[in-house]
Amino acid sequence: MKRSSNVKKSIILSGLVGTGGLFIAKLIGIVYAIPFSSILGNEAYMGIYGQAYNIYSYVLTVFTAGFPFAIATLVARYSVLKDAKSILSVKKLSLAFLSITGFSGMLLLMLLAGKIAPIMVEENIDIMVNTLRILAIAVFLVPVLSAFRGFYQGLKEMEEYAISQAFEQIFRVLFLLAGSCIAVYALGLDRKYALYISVLSTSIAAIAGIVQIYQFDRKHIGEIESLALNQKDKAVDNKKIFKDFVSISIPYLLSSILGYSQQIYNAILLPIGLRLHNYESKVITTIISSTTYVGVKITAIPMILAPGFAAAIIPHITEALTKKDYKLIRKNIIDCINIILYIGIPVCFCIFLYAKPINYTLFYNEDLKLASYVLAWLSLEAFLGTLAPVVTNLMMALELRKNYFKRLIISTIIKGILIVPMIYIFGFAGSVLSSVIGDGYLILSNLQEVKKVFKVKFRKVTWVLIRVLISIVFMGLTSFILNKIGIGGTESGKMISFVWMCINGLISVLVFAGVSIFLNVPKVVFHMDVVKFVKTKLRRGNA
């Protein structure tokens, strides 16, 4: 329970370390998606893959979300109180509880698969049913892994949190690609078996992840067990721990059920709205594939900031609240939002700028123009999906749950009511616009309450936002000019276009970084002089 590590002391470093592991995991997810889309070679199968994962993610959220955060909160609390016995009690209770909830979720998804599949697809219903049932196995295994991660998140072991995420994804991708290639190219099986193997990989990776983190646990739990043996005070009663565990979990659980409703909307309401807009069947297939497969993979890049910083928020805010250090709380709030703006906005803008070359060079698609249009719009949803979860976890950690839930219900209803009619009027763009209205209301109203209750002054946030937007303008102009002189575009072959895209993107990002440094944004966000830091490193390297 030592707190000597710089990572453990800083919410920025903790968030960046957590994000780093998720970034590696998501980057691997994008890399594998490129050859895997060719292995599937079918937009309908790609759509099934994405839609099935939407349902799986939602069921997993219902039976898992909230509990890892509750584990982290309780572990952080008892760490501050130096109560090692209660920390061990939290661990035992959480592992048992999440095993039971995970098993319940698995059974539910297996039973419902046959009922919801016909709503999701008009063709290949049996394939969708099988895909959902295979994914159901992971609903049992992943919560167990989440319990371990929540425990070490509470101890601020963000390095292990990051390593665990990356390890699980690497194992999953290796199994997915190897199994799919063997099934399709070596055995000559139908490509639907590649789809089945791909979803089975989630369960296989979860087992590998449990083994990895269990080995870490065996090496590091000894310190806490030793402290527990020497502790004179009794542990908190298990009934009290369970009561606190549930009371902390329920707000997170309700938040996840409502907050991640977009996955259900995309799986069920999006196809309904697209049909009402009179899109042809082939166009609908392309839009769904672009939304649930390509869109999910690419927009996940900026959205990794959310879980990374959400994981860091819990122990840091909980510790500050326990100590009643309100100055530190205000600092942590500002730091979290500023770094999301500084990193999230340019990454999402890159998705908008390079939507067409991304689709052209990296993914299988039958309608490049339409797929690029969809991805460009999803860049806006990506930013909302990056900022909203961070604000949500701030509200939870700051114990501002009551009014938050009222707003979350309103936000969910707004999106649910608007999505179909707005798609009917504006086409696919209406889906994103409904999210802008619903999520925009939720984010701004919650920040207003944080400002009022904790006397947070958002002047620095406004300062950072304005300067980031100025830097974005220069970034966009640079990309436009480079495209005009032939550095970019999709006129050449895929490999050459990919190289031009990378060069265009690198130069544009460097321009963004240069302008933002000139405007002193990194100094405000990271509390350090970037130019001075780089010069110092260069001098040491030359010494």
The secondary structure of 147-205, three-state, reads: HHHHHHHHCCCHHHHHHHHHHHHHHHHHHHHHHHHHHHHHCCCCCHHHHHHHHHHHHHH
Does 15 share its domain with 48? yes
Show the domain range for 525: 460-543
pLDDT band at 7 (very low <50, low <70, confident <90, very high): very low
Q: Are residues 291 and 382 in the same domain?
A: yes
Neighbours of 253 (CB within 10 A): 21
Confidence class of residue 8 from pLDDT cuts 50, 70 and 90?
very low
Q: Which of 457, 487, 507 is the last residue of a domain?
A: 457
What is the percent of the chain with per-residue pLDDT over 90, rounded to a whole number?
31
pLDDT at 430: 94
Domains contained in the chain, number: 2
**Do 165 and 246 fall within a single domain?**
yes
In a domain, 348, yes or no: yes
Which of the four pLDDT bands, split at 50, 70 and 90, describes residue 2?
A: very low
> Mind listing the pLDDT tens digit for each residue in 174-206?
898 899 899 888 888 888 898 899 889 999 999
Q: Is the Cβ–Cβ distance between 147 and 209 less than 8 Å?
A: no
Model confidence, pTM: 0.67
pLDDT, position 303: 73
Q: What does the pLDDT look like over 452-485, one tens digit per residue? A: 988 888 998 999 999 999 999 999 999 999 999 9
Co-location of 480 and 425 in the same domain: no
Q: Are residues 468 and 448 in the same domain?
A: no
The reply to whether 478 and 351 lie within a common domain is no
201-to-19, 89, 98, 240, 269 alpha-carbon distances in Å: 23, 32, 21, 38, 28
In one-letter notation, the amino acid at residue 29 is G
Task: Tell me the per-residue pLDDT of 137-157, one tens digit each, with 9 for 90 and over.
Answer: 999 999 999 888 888 877 777
509 and 386 assigned to the same domain: no
- Per-residue tokens: 363: 């993914």
Give the tens place of pLDDT for each residue, 344-368: 899 999 999 999 999 888 777 778 8
Residue 379 is predicted with a pLDDT of 94
Final residue before a domain boundary, out of 457, 485, 501:
457
Does residue 542 share a domain with residue 444?
A: no
Is 372 a residue whose pLDDT tops 60?
yes
Examine the domain organization and report whether 226 and 98 are in the same domain: yes
Q: Give pLDDT, residue 445.
A: 94
Which of 457, 482, 502 finishes a domain? 457
Chain mean position to CA 517: 28
Let me know: does 74 contact 90? Beta carbons within 8 Å. Answer: yes
Average confidence score pLDDT of the chain: 83
Separation between Cα atoms, residue 47 and residue 55, nearest integer Å: 12
In this predicted model, which residue has the larger pLDDT, 277 or 285? Answer: 277
With a pLDDT cut of 70, the percent of the chain lying above it is: 87
Number of Cβ atoms within 10 Å of the Cβ of 358:
24
Q: Per-residue pLDDT tens for 385-423?
A: 888 888 887 887 787 878 888 898 899 899 999 999 999
Q: Of how many residues is the chain composed?
A: 543
**Across residues 100-126, what is the average pLDDT?**
88
- 1 located within any domain: no
Mean pLDDT of 28-34: 66
pLDDT tens column, 211-226: 999 998 888 888 888 9
For tokens 């906005």, name the residue.
345
